[in-house]
Structure 1
Amino acid sequence: MSDTPFGFGLPPEEPENGDEGKKKDQQSGGGQGPFGFGPPGAGGPGADNPLAAMFGSMNPNDLGAAFQQLGQMLSYEGGPVNWDMAKQIARQTVSQGTSDGTKDASVGPAERTAVQDAVRLADLWLDDATSLPSGAASAVAWSRAEWVEATLPVWKELVDPVAERVGAAMGDVLPEEMQAMAGPLIGMMRSMGGAMFGTQIGQAVGVLAGEVVGSTDIGLPLGPAGKAALLPLNIASFGKDLGIPLEEVRLYLALREAAHQRLFSHVPWLRSHLFGAVEGYARGIKVDTAKLEDVVGQLDPQNPEQLQDALQQGMFQPEDTPEQKAALARLETALALVEGWVDAVVHAAAKPRLSSADALRETLRRRRATGGPAEQTFATLIGLELRPRRLRDASRLWASLTDARGVDGRDGLWAHPDMLPTASDLDDPDGFVHREQLDFSELDKMLGEAASGSAEKTNLKKDDAPADENKDDDKGDGTE
């Protein structure tokens, strides 16, 4: 099947060998993708999805009964995503554990204390590496389930605009006369779409909860503002085969979390800038309505399997519009600058103090390059794939700016989005640094000349003042 950015699709028909084949298909998870609506052979929470089972057994004779049952099951009337279902699926995914066999567990007092101490020490080290003050008012240790609970509100803010646009495109494709006749059916389809979105997003968030080590792994502030968060269980899994003491791994990851907190706390426009790029992408979504109308026009109401086949063939592929390209480029560049700044600042703080700093830095870079949490999440939810080359270039640019202008000059670029490097600047970091040096030299020269001119004028006024006073005195003497 051809996947859309949200992996729409439905399972194939019921096997021809009757109840026995149906039973085998259900036991093997056949007809279900990673989120319960894709190709066969995948497991996960979707394997027990009643929607997939229903569509798998649907035939023309019980079409009415099937939709009646579907309407009862999908009574959800909220937004484009059923977030109650997403939360439930995410929690179920977390409870199943990760592929390495680790199960989620409550965080103990010793782990909480270790995280708090690590964040506190990390903030002290960062004071020498950045001019931005601490942004973490508190430090917390989360279980995977707690990470899901704490980050779902931000996922909702990120995903809803995209899901809304895709859902609207799905509803608008029917001719007006069909929409008038099929009003209740469209409502049920939207509820079904909300359930499909909720299932997929819940699965994605649940899987991500087994990988992330903090609240800022994907370059966005997913947790509450001012709260540095680490996941002790995932930190232990991350450092298990590195041959580096757990204390050093925890401290290095605490440096990254604390650096992100400083940036997002003291650059007030940054969060809205990033989230605005996601909304810009959503506004640019344009579904190929001509293709959809062609498919819908050829559907036979007496042959519902035809609709199922059309869904499987990816009839909801969004077009690659200039608006989307521009929004994704803006988001990708901003995320690269955030990650590059954190990488450069953390390395500056850790290098003199941790013997494992270089190894940990390279491990995290490779993790991202081979499909880390950020790439997987954005590729699944909004079609964005971060390019590791951008992160390395951004880190090199920030390091070069530090050498050329110092910590204060480097961090001063975050004062306004127009001052930040662009995507073309990431292609030529040295050129940007050199140009910035020239621009600031000229600015300093202009300011110096302005200051000198102002001083000369002030001196001239001072020199003229006594003469005027004497002149007034002479006039006064004459009148007397």
Structure 2
Amino acid sequence: MSDTPFGFGLPPEEPEDGDGKKKGPAGGGQGAGGQGGPGNPFAGFGLPGAGGPGGPGGGDNPFAAMFGSLNPNDLGAAFQQLGQMLSYEGGPVNWDMAKQIARQTVAQGTPDGTKDASIGPAERSAVEEAVRLADIWLDGVTSLPSGANTAVAWSRAEWVEATLPAWQQLVDPVAERVGTAMGEVLPEEMQSVAGPLIGMMRSMGGAMFGQQIGQAVGVLAGEVVGSTDIGLPLGPAGKAALLPLNVEAFSKDLGVPKDEIRLYLALREAAHQRLFAHVPWLRSHMFGAVEGYARGIKVDTSKLEDVVGQFDPSHPEELQEALQQGLFQPEDTPEQKAALARLETALALVEGWVDAVVHEAAKPRLSGADALRETLRRRRASGGPAEQTFATLIGLQLRPRRLRDASRLWASLTDARGVDGRDRLWEHPDMLPTASDLDDPDGFVHHEQADFSELDKMLGEAANGGPDLRKEEGGNGTDGKDDTDGTDGKDDTGK
């Protein structure tokens, strides 16, 4: 990233005065070109060098406070960066910038000094073998067939490339709301004449989100071990993926053989792939729940007004800090609460099912199964810095708060109904347990068991030709006698 004021990296440290206070950027002044004019496109924006009342000291210009002052020596580079940023005409997030920054973040390595590296043939072969064996084990504990057409070993950079489309689907709805709000915070009397400025602000908003999302994706790429760590299918359909470098980091200090760890993680990845491949409505249900929640989020316009009103291009980190502190507040409405409950329950049910079937497959075969299960449960419950960044950006933590409850419920359903009966609940979203069912798993299992028995009876009758339709109401045949007890010794013709 550039060190210029619009580089969106951390700016150079400001000099301090004798009292230890920041002086702010050096220079200031109007710079050369004291008089703006019709040919100066920045004349009305109060940028240094614009001249006239729009320059520093022009208190009548409502935009002057927004842009502050720049060192004239930095103007060329600043305007070049500004032009690149404002030329963006895409959606609410500048995803080209997000991708660039994510890859730069990955290239810098993780805090422990681990750098990204290309995946070698031996690592690819190990991942492919682990996923192949995981699928064999899962065949015995779920009725859902394999959902992984291929098994891939990704570097961190490859994970970034593969998952950005899913992040775009998650983040765009909220970013769109921010882009709209940035135009609405201008004073009413300025709305009619501020079209170009509103467009500029939205472009800046896209750049702000692109910078933050890119950094978060880059950091998360150093933490994840596969494509389904957050419970959503982030990668392409049918690709079970592991990141060998991150699996290696995850394995440290666990006291479990690395081969077992790789296999356990492959079991989880393959189980997620089965679920999303063979439950066709599930992906849209999950992403729809995120979008439904996003629709109920309101932007804190008072905070946004403060940020816009005090914006200084020489300190773009102030915009970043505003995003990091959060601009979003959930609406306290029944609809928003229902959307949140729907999303949290869906996340818990997916993660709980994966947890239950993986444990059933791994427990008899892997000595470290219990320890790995607990480690991953805690890791999933606590999240990490990158997850917190996304929580701030989209106002939502993609975390299965009720993972343990859901896992117990799926295990109880397996005991009561068997593997086929348990997995049959995924046939339709209306058949799945609700949030209240997670409060009382035993009650749901017993209730469903009764319903399941009745369904089995109906299906059995249908398979045998259906119920005896020749019986009249009350169970009587055409002879007018009750044939249900079989005591009259006659068939329904009365013979």
TM-score normalised per structure 1:
0.78
Tell me which residue corresponds to 1:320.
Answer: 330
The one of 83, 99, 104 aligned to 1:72: 83
Q: CA deviation at 1:172?
A: 2.0
Q: Which letter maps to 1:284? A: G
Q: Which letter maps to 2:417? A: R
The one of 220, 243, 248 aligned to 2:255: 243
SS at match of 1:286: strand
Tell me which residue corresponds to 1:41.
Answer: none
Q: Which letter maps to 1:94? A: V
CA contact (8 A) 1:94 1:207 kept: yes
Tell me which residue corresponds to 1:219.
Answer: 231
Counterpart CA distance in 2 for 1:70 and 1:177 is 30
Residues 1:423 and 1:11: Cα distance change in structure 2 (over 3 Å): farther
Counterpart CA distance in 1 for 2:178 and 2:13 is 26
CA deviations 1:50-101 (Å, max 9, x no partner) are xxxxx99943998xx7996664131211111111110111001101111122
Task: Determine whether 1:358 maps to 2:366.
Answer: no
Q: CA deviation at 1:319?
A: 3.5
Q: Which structure has more RCO (C-alpha within 8 Å, separation ≥ 6)?
A: 1
Task: Determine whether 1:187 maps to 2:199.
Answer: yes
SS at match of 2:253: coil
Q: CA deviation at 1:440?
A: 2.5
SS at match of 1:453: coil
The one of 362, 371, 382 aligned to 1:370: 382
CA deviations 1:354-381 (Å, max 9, x no partner) are 1111111011111123324895364243
Residues 1:23 and 1:148: Cα distance change in structure 2 (over 3 Å): farther
Structure 1: gaps spanning 5 or more residues: 1-7, 27-54, 468-480
Instruction: Spell out the pairing of 1:154-165 with structure 2 (5 A cutoff).
Output: 154-165=166-177
Q: CA deviation at 1:213?
A: 0.6
Percent pairwise identity: 76
Counterpart CA distance in 2 for 1:186 and 1:286 is 19
The one of 285, 293, 317 aligned to 2:297: 285
Tell me which residue corresponds to 1:255.
Answer: 267
Counterpart CA distance in 1 for 2:243 and 2:322 is 40
Residues 1:24 and 1:213: Cα distance change in structure 2 (over 3 Å): farther
Number of residue pairs the alignment of both structures matches: 427
Q: CA deviation at 1:326?
A: 2.7
CA contact (8 A) 1:13 1:56 kept: no
CA contact (8 A) 1:13 1:305 kept: no
Q: CA deviation at 1:184?
A: 1.8
Task: Determine whether 1:59 maps to 2:69.
Answer: yes
Counterpart CA distance in 2 for 1:119 and 1:344 is 18
Structure in which a larger fraction of residues adopt helix: 1
SS at match of 2:152: strand
SS at match of 2:241: strand
Instruction: Spell out the pairing of 1:49-198 with structure 2 (5 A cutoff).
Output: 58-59=68-69, 71-74=82-85, 75-198=87-210
CA deviations 1:192-250 (Å, max 9, x no partner) are 11111000000000000001111111111111100111111100110121111111110
Tell me which residue corresponds to 1:231.
Answer: 243
SS at match of 1:84: helix
Counterpart CA distance in 1 for 2:372 and 2:414 is 22
Q: Which letter maps to 1:136? A: A
SS at match of 2:148: coil
* The 10-residue stretch of structure 1 (414-423 or 318-327) with the greater mean CA deviation from structure 2: 318-327
Residues 1:57 and 1:293: Cα distance change in structure 2 (over 3 Å): closer
Q: CA deviation at 1:287?
A: 2.9
Counterpart CA distance in 1 for 2:80 and 2:22 is 20
Q: Which letter maps to 2:152? A: V
Residues 1:287 and 1:380: Cα distance change in structure 2 (over 3 Å): closer
Q: Which letter maps to 1:210? A: G
Q: CA deviation at 1:317?
A: 3.2
CA contact (8 A) 2:94 2:210 kept: yes
CA contact (8 A) 2:15 2:23 kept: no
* The 10-residue stretch of structure 1 (173-182 or 72-81) with the greater mean CA deviation from structure 2: 173-182
SS at match of 2:364: coil
SS at match of 1:181: coil
The one of 349, 355, 359 aligned to 1:343: 355
Counterpart CA distance in 1 for 2:188 and 2:13 is 30
* The 10-residue stretch of structure 1 (383-392 or 304-313) with the greater mean CA deviation from structure 2: 304-313
Q: Which letter maps to 1:428? A: D
Instruction: Spell out the pairing of 1:303-318 with structure 2 (5 A cutoff).
Output: 317-318=327-328
The one of 447, 451, 456 aligned to 1:435: 447
CA contact (8 A) 2:437 2:443 kept: yes
CA deviations 1:251-272 (Å, max 9, x no partner) are 0000000000000000000000
Tell me which residue corresponds to 1:474.
Answer: none
TM-score normalised per structure 2:
0.76
Counterpart CA distance in 1 for 2:494 and 2:400 is 69
